[in-house]
Amino acid sequence: MAKKITVKDLLANTHVNLVAGEEYLDREITTADISRPGLEMTGYFNYYAPERVQLMGITETSFAHRMNHDELLMVARKMMQPNTPAFVVSTGRQLPEEFMQAAIEAKIPVLATDLTSSRILSNMTYFLSGGLAERQSVHGVLVDIFGLGVLITGDSGVGKSETALELVQRGHRLIADDRVDVYAQDEERLVGEPPAILRNLMELRGVGIIDVMNLFGAGAVRSHATIAFNLHLAKWTDDQKVDRLGNGEENIRIQGVDLPRFVLPVQTGRNLAVLIETAAKNFRAKKMGFDATETFNDNLNRLIAENSEN
């Protein structure tokens, strides 16, 4: 499920300041879309979306100066609907007095910023898109390893939390343990974060629940991270098929986004933290164009060619 976002959250997380309506900041924002009410300023309301945050920049405020008092007040009152969350004025402009009057009447907060319309539009859209995105709960651990979000999954008791703890001791950062709330930032990126009740906490069998930030410092945790790949810990079996060359990458689909997935067999004596670190380094190297599997194949083909010539 998605979070509930209010105008107060928007005020706290974007570069806007409160102009009026402090007592109405609990108004809920239900969509990440932002409206630029240019046509509405002319009186055209056929496709007006009152549930959106309304952003007024230089174009809208300049046009308002050409309108008389009665026209402007009529348009302002039409824009101020019961489900309109807030009005935002960009580029250091001021909202016309008629709009301020209508906003006070409708109990709608007014916010302002010195940023340009395009900049504040981008900031608000980014914040609202993430905040309002549908969350999918995934059983696993999310750790930031060398700047890559690695989603560690596996059967219960396979050692996910213990491995994450060792990774934290090696200088990496915990995002979430046991349960990861995942949402799609866009069509290609997944972001993971902890549920509020589990933030900075980790459960270790035989030890109990520990506070990672309290024990290891603020640098040992993060609030969220873009997920680079999923590493699945699978208990070793004698008949298990194992990818020996590293070219058997598969994907899992979460929230409509394909996420690379690798399976790491778990066996007594294997140092999982070191293996996961290496997997993260190798994943980054491949993204930079350095693929050891391709190098091996090239070397093998070269050797075969040389032997066939002889």
Q: What residue numbers does the annotated binding site for Mg(2+) cover?
A: 161, 203
Contact (Cβ atoms closer than 8 angstroms) between residue 54 and residue 84 = yes
Inter-residue contact 214 to 222 (CB < 8 Å): no
Q: Which of 160, 155, 56 is nearest to 100 (CA)?
A: 56
Q: Is 119 considered catalytic here?
A: no
- Among the listed residues 9, 144, 177, 178, the single catalytic one is 178
281 is known as an active-site residue:
no
Catalytic member of 52, 93, 135, 160: 160
Taking the C-alpha atoms of residue 114 and residue 91, their distance in angstroms, rounded to an integer, is 4
Distance of CA 188 to the CA centre of its chain: 11
Binding site membership: which residues? Answer: 154-161, 203
Query: 263 CB contacts (<8 Å, ≥6 apart)?
Result: 232, 234, 242, 243
Annotated binding site for ATP: 154-161
Exactly one of 205, 241, 244, 253 is catalytic; name it. 244
* Rounded Cα gap, residues 110 and 12, in angstroms: 14
65 is catalytic: no
50 DSSP 8-state letter: T
Which tokens belong to 220? 């040992």
Q: Which of 139, 170, 235, 302 is catalytic?
A: 139
For residue 186, indicate whether it is catalytic. Answer: no
Collapsed DSSP state (helix, strand, coil) of residue 47: coil
3-state secondary structure of 131: helix
Report helix, strand or coil for 148.
strand
> Which residues are known to be catalytic?
139, 160, 178, 244
